[in-house]
Structure 1
Protein backbone atom coordinates (compact mmCIF):
# COMPACT_ATOMS: atom_id res chain seq x y z
CA UNK A 1 0.00 0.00 0.00
CA UNK A 2 1.50 3.31 -1.05
CA UNK A 3 1.21 6.43 1.03
CA UNK A 4 -0.11 9.71 -0.31
CA UNK A 5 2.50 12.46 -0.04
CA UNK A 6 1.30 16.04 0.13
CA UNK A 7 3.26 19.24 -0.38
CA UNK A 8 2.38 22.74 0.84
CA UNK A 9 4.72 25.47 -0.41
CA UNK A 10 4.60 28.88 1.17
CA UNK A 11 6.45 31.87 2.51
CA UNK A 12 5.09 31.42 6.04
CA UNK A 13 6.24 34.95 6.82
CA UNK A 14 4.53 36.42 9.88
CA UNK A 15 2.93 33.02 10.63
CA UNK A 16 -0.84 33.44 11.07
CA UNK A 17 -4.14 31.56 11.19
CA UNK A 18 -4.30 31.18 7.40
CA UNK A 19 -0.99 29.30 7.45
CA UNK A 20 -2.21 27.10 10.30
CA UNK A 21 -5.49 26.41 8.50
CA UNK A 22 -3.88 25.26 5.25
CA UNK A 23 -1.32 23.06 7.03
CA UNK A 24 -3.93 21.38 9.25
CA UNK A 25 -6.33 20.90 6.36
CA UNK A 26 -3.60 19.49 4.09
CA UNK A 27 -2.55 17.06 6.81
CA UNK A 28 -6.06 15.58 6.80
CA UNK A 29 -5.78 14.89 3.06
CA UNK A 30 -2.51 12.93 2.94
CA UNK A 31 -0.41 10.35 4.79
CA UNK A 32 2.81 12.36 4.82
CA UNK A 33 2.83 16.17 4.71
CA UNK A 34 5.86 18.11 3.52
CA UNK A 35 5.88 21.88 3.98
CA UNK A 36 8.16 23.83 1.68
CA UNK A 37 9.38 27.15 3.03
CA UNK A 38 10.40 29.47 0.21
CA UNK A 39 13.85 31.08 0.41
CA UNK A 40 14.31 34.78 1.13
CA UNK A 41 15.73 35.26 -2.39
CA UNK A 42 12.77 33.63 -4.15
CA UNK A 43 10.34 35.64 -2.04
CA UNK A 44 12.09 38.88 -2.86
CA UNK A 45 12.04 38.02 -6.56
CA UNK A 46 8.36 37.02 -6.57
CA UNK A 47 6.94 39.61 -4.16
CA UNK A 48 9.41 42.43 -4.69
CA UNK A 49 10.40 42.58 -1.04
CA UNK A 50 12.25 40.39 1.45
CA UNK A 51 10.39 38.54 4.19
CA UNK A 52 10.29 40.01 7.68
CA UNK A 53 11.08 36.68 9.35
CA UNK A 54 14.31 35.08 8.04
CA UNK A 55 14.31 31.63 6.42
CA UNK A 56 15.92 29.76 9.35
CA UNK A 57 13.22 31.01 11.71
CA UNK A 58 10.39 30.28 9.26
CA UNK A 59 11.75 26.73 8.84
CA UNK A 60 11.84 26.27 12.64
CA UNK A 61 8.29 27.58 13.09
CA UNK A 62 6.75 25.43 10.35
CA UNK A 63 8.88 22.40 11.24
CA UNK A 64 7.70 22.65 14.84
CA UNK A 65 4.07 22.12 13.87
CA UNK A 66 2.68 18.70 14.82
CA UNK A 67 0.69 18.52 11.58
CA UNK A 68 3.87 18.78 9.47
CA UNK A 69 5.84 15.57 8.95
CA UNK A 70 8.75 17.16 7.13
CA UNK A 71 9.91 20.69 6.35
CA UNK A 72 12.18 21.58 3.43
CA UNK A 73 13.61 24.71 1.88
CA UNK A 74 11.73 25.53 -1.32
CA UNK A 75 14.31 26.81 -3.80
CA UNK A 76 12.16 27.93 -6.72
CA UNK A 77 8.85 29.47 -7.70
CA UNK A 78 8.66 26.61 -10.25
CA UNK A 79 7.07 23.75 -8.30
CA UNK A 80 8.35 21.18 -10.81
CA UNK A 81 11.79 21.79 -9.26
CA UNK A 82 10.42 20.66 -5.90
CA UNK A 83 8.42 17.80 -7.41
CA UNK A 84 11.61 16.41 -8.98
CA UNK A 85 13.21 16.49 -5.53
CA UNK A 86 10.27 15.19 -3.46
CA UNK A 87 7.93 13.29 -5.83
CA UNK A 88 4.78 14.35 -3.97
CA UNK A 89 1.34 13.22 -5.14
CA UNK A 90 -0.64 16.35 -4.36
CA UNK A 91 0.22 20.01 -3.95
CA UNK A 92 -2.01 22.14 -1.71
CA UNK A 93 -2.61 25.86 -2.31
CA UNK A 94 -5.01 28.55 -1.21
CA UNK A 95 -7.97 29.02 -3.54
CA UNK A 96 -6.83 32.56 -4.33
CA UNK A 97 -4.74 30.78 -7.01
CA UNK A 98 -7.68 28.84 -8.50
CA UNK A 99 -8.69 30.00 -11.97
CA UNK A 100 -5.79 32.44 -12.26
CA UNK A 101 -3.05 32.25 -14.90
CA UNK A 102 -0.49 31.20 -12.24
CA UNK A 103 -2.90 28.57 -10.89
CA UNK A 104 -3.58 27.25 -14.38
CA UNK A 105 0.18 26.99 -15.03
CA UNK A 106 0.67 25.19 -11.72
CA UNK A 107 -2.11 22.69 -12.46
CA UNK A 108 -0.73 22.06 -15.95
CA UNK A 109 2.85 21.52 -14.76
CA UNK A 110 1.74 19.20 -11.96
CA UNK A 111 -0.47 17.20 -14.33
CA UNK A 112 2.58 16.60 -16.54
CA UNK A 113 4.19 14.59 -13.72
CA UNK A 114 1.02 12.93 -12.43
CA UNK A 115 0.53 15.16 -9.39
CA UNK A 116 -2.63 17.08 -8.70
CA UNK A 117 -3.39 20.46 -7.14
CA UNK A 118 -5.96 20.76 -4.36
CA UNK A 119 -7.19 24.18 -3.30
CA UNK A 120 -8.35 25.14 0.17
CA UNK A 121 -10.24 28.30 1.13
CA UNK A 122 -7.93 31.28 1.41
CA UNK A 123 -8.18 33.09 4.76
CA UNK A 124 -9.21 36.49 3.43
CA UNK A 125 -9.33 38.39 6.72
CA UNK A 126 -5.71 37.59 7.66
CA UNK A 127 -2.67 37.60 5.39
CA UNK A 128 0.99 38.37 5.77
CA UNK A 129 0.50 41.31 3.41
CA UNK A 130 -2.26 42.73 5.63
CA UNK A 131 -0.17 42.16 8.76
CA UNK A 132 2.82 43.85 7.12
CA UNK A 133 0.66 46.87 6.27
CA UNK A 134 -0.61 47.11 9.86
CA UNK A 135 2.92 46.89 11.25
CA UNK A 136 4.33 49.54 8.92
CA UNK A 137 1.25 51.66 9.58
Structure 2
Protein backbone atom coordinates (compact mmCIF):
# COMPACT_ATOMS: atom_id res chain seq x y z
CA UNK A 1 0.00 0.00 0.00
CA UNK A 2 1.43 3.37 -1.05
CA UNK A 3 0.89 6.07 1.59
CA UNK A 4 0.58 9.67 0.41
CA UNK A 5 0.94 12.74 2.61
CA UNK A 6 0.05 16.31 1.77
CA UNK A 7 -0.42 19.52 3.69
CA UNK A 8 -2.51 22.67 3.45
CA UNK A 9 -4.58 25.24 5.25
CA UNK A 10 -7.80 24.50 3.32
CA UNK A 11 -9.36 27.78 4.44
CA UNK A 12 -12.55 28.85 2.62
CA UNK A 13 -12.62 25.41 0.97
CA UNK A 14 -12.91 25.61 -2.83
CA UNK A 15 -12.65 23.46 -5.96
CA UNK A 16 -8.87 23.84 -6.10
CA UNK A 17 -8.59 22.25 -2.66
CA UNK A 18 -10.82 19.36 -3.68
CA UNK A 19 -8.94 18.74 -6.91
CA UNK A 20 -5.47 18.71 -5.35
CA UNK A 21 -6.67 16.28 -2.67
CA UNK A 22 -8.25 14.01 -5.29
CA UNK A 23 -5.11 14.12 -7.45
CA UNK A 24 -2.96 13.49 -4.38
CA UNK A 25 -4.98 10.37 -3.61
CA UNK A 26 -4.53 9.23 -7.22
CA UNK A 27 -0.78 9.03 -6.47
CA UNK A 28 -1.31 6.13 -4.06
CA UNK A 29 -3.67 4.08 -1.92
CA UNK A 30 -3.99 5.96 1.37
CA UNK A 31 -4.11 9.76 1.75
CA UNK A 32 -2.97 11.49 4.94
CA UNK A 33 -3.57 15.24 5.17
CA UNK A 34 -1.87 17.68 7.51
CA UNK A 35 -4.21 20.62 8.06
CA UNK A 36 -2.27 23.72 9.13
CA UNK A 37 -3.21 24.83 12.63
CA UNK A 38 -4.58 28.29 13.29
CA UNK A 39 -1.40 29.24 15.18
CA UNK A 40 0.84 28.04 12.35
CA UNK A 41 -1.13 30.14 9.87
CA UNK A 42 -0.88 33.20 12.06
CA UNK A 43 2.89 32.73 12.37
CA UNK A 44 3.22 32.26 8.59
CA UNK A 45 0.77 34.89 7.28
CA UNK A 46 0.21 37.22 10.25
CA UNK A 47 -3.52 36.41 10.16
CA UNK A 48 -5.74 33.62 11.34
CA UNK A 49 -7.74 31.55 8.85
CA UNK A 50 -11.37 32.54 8.30
CA UNK A 51 -12.53 29.01 9.16
CA UNK A 52 -11.29 27.64 12.54
CA UNK A 53 -8.95 24.65 12.44
CA UNK A 54 -11.42 22.12 13.87
CA UNK A 55 -13.95 22.94 11.17
CA UNK A 56 -11.29 22.84 8.43
CA UNK A 57 -10.16 19.45 9.71
CA UNK A 58 -13.76 18.16 9.71
CA UNK A 59 -14.34 19.37 6.15
CA UNK A 60 -11.17 17.68 4.87
CA UNK A 61 -11.83 14.48 6.83
CA UNK A 62 -15.33 14.21 5.32
CA UNK A 63 -13.97 13.80 1.80
CA UNK A 64 -14.01 10.26 0.44
CA UNK A 65 -10.51 10.66 -1.02
CA UNK A 66 -9.03 11.41 2.43
CA UNK A 67 -8.21 8.60 4.85
CA UNK A 68 -6.61 10.41 7.77
CA UNK A 69 -6.16 14.01 8.99
CA UNK A 70 -3.94 15.62 11.61
CA UNK A 71 -2.94 19.17 12.55
CA UNK A 72 0.32 20.51 11.17
CA UNK A 73 1.89 22.72 13.83
CA UNK A 74 5.07 23.84 12.01
CA UNK A 75 6.60 23.85 8.53
CA UNK A 76 9.84 22.81 10.22
CA UNK A 77 8.29 19.47 11.23
CA UNK A 78 7.47 18.24 7.69
CA UNK A 79 10.19 15.58 7.78
CA UNK A 80 9.00 14.35 11.16
CA UNK A 81 5.38 14.17 9.92
CA UNK A 82 6.50 12.18 6.86
CA UNK A 83 8.37 9.68 9.02
CA UNK A 84 5.68 9.40 11.73
CA UNK A 85 3.03 8.69 9.10
CA UNK A 86 5.27 6.29 7.15
CA UNK A 87 4.53 8.23 3.97
CA UNK A 88 5.93 6.92 0.69
CA UNK A 89 5.14 10.12 -1.22
CA UNK A 90 4.87 13.80 -0.30
CA UNK A 91 2.53 15.68 -2.64
CA UNK A 92 2.38 19.47 -2.70
CA UNK A 93 1.08 22.16 -5.05
CA UNK A 94 3.58 23.45 -7.59
CA UNK A 95 3.60 26.85 -5.89
CA UNK A 96 5.96 25.04 -3.46
CA UNK A 97 8.11 23.55 -6.27
CA UNK A 98 11.59 22.71 -5.04
CA UNK A 99 10.86 23.77 -1.46
CA UNK A 100 10.60 20.22 -0.14
CA UNK A 101 13.17 18.46 -2.30
CA UNK A 102 15.21 17.89 0.86
CA UNK A 103 12.81 15.06 1.72
CA UNK A 104 13.59 13.07 -1.43
CA UNK A 105 15.93 10.98 0.72
CA UNK A 106 12.99 9.69 2.83
CA UNK A 107 10.13 9.61 0.28
CA UNK A 108 9.19 10.55 -3.27
CA UNK A 109 8.24 14.22 -3.69
CA UNK A 110 5.66 15.28 -6.28
CA UNK A 111 4.52 18.83 -7.07
CA UNK A 112 1.10 18.99 -8.72
CA UNK A 113 -0.14 21.95 -10.76
CA UNK A 114 -2.58 24.21 -8.94
CA UNK A 115 -6.10 24.69 -10.26
CA UNK A 116 -5.90 27.88 -12.34
CA UNK A 117 -7.78 31.05 -11.42
CA UNK A 118 -8.76 30.07 -7.87
CA UNK A 119 -7.09 30.78 -4.55
CA UNK A 120 -8.24 31.31 -1.00
CA UNK A 121 -6.50 34.70 -0.84
CA UNK A 122 -8.33 35.97 -3.92
CA UNK A 123 -11.66 34.62 -2.66
CA UNK A 124 -11.20 36.40 0.66
CA UNK A 125 -10.43 39.66 -1.15
CA UNK A 126 -13.57 39.31 -3.30
CA UNK A 127 -15.68 38.64 -0.21
CA UNK A 128 -14.23 41.70 1.55
CA UNK A 129 -15.32 43.90 -1.36
CA UNK A 130 -18.92 42.71 -1.29
- Shorter-chain-normalised TM-score: which range? over 0.9
Who is 1:136 aligned against? 128
1:69-112 residue CA offsets vs partner (Å, 9 max, x unmatched): 1111112112113123212111111111214xxx1xx111x123
Q: Is the 8 A contact 1:90 1:118 kept in 2?
A: yes
| Number of aligned residue pairs | 128
Q: Give distance in 2, aligned partners of 1:82 and 1:29.
A: 18
Point out where structure 2 has 5 or more consecutive residues left out of the alignment: none
**Are 1:111 and 2:104 matched, yes or no?**
yes
The answer as to whether partners of 1:91 and 1:118 remain within 8 angstroms in 2 is yes
Report whether the alignment pairs 1:37 with 2:35.
yes
TM-score scaled by length of structure 2: 0.93
Long gaps (5+) in structure 1: none
The equivalent of 1:10 in structure 2 is 8
Q: Which runs of 4+ in 1 moved over 4 A?
A: none
CA–CA distance in 1 between the matches of 2:126 and 2:80? Answer: 34
Alignment of 1:1-137 (within 5 A): 3-78=1-76, 79-99=78-98, 103=99, 106-108=100-102, 110-112=103-105, 114-137=106-129
RMSD: 1.1
Q: State TM-score, norm by structure 1.
A: 0.88
CA offsets, 1:26-73, max 9 Å, x none? Answer: 111111100110100001111121100000000100000000011111
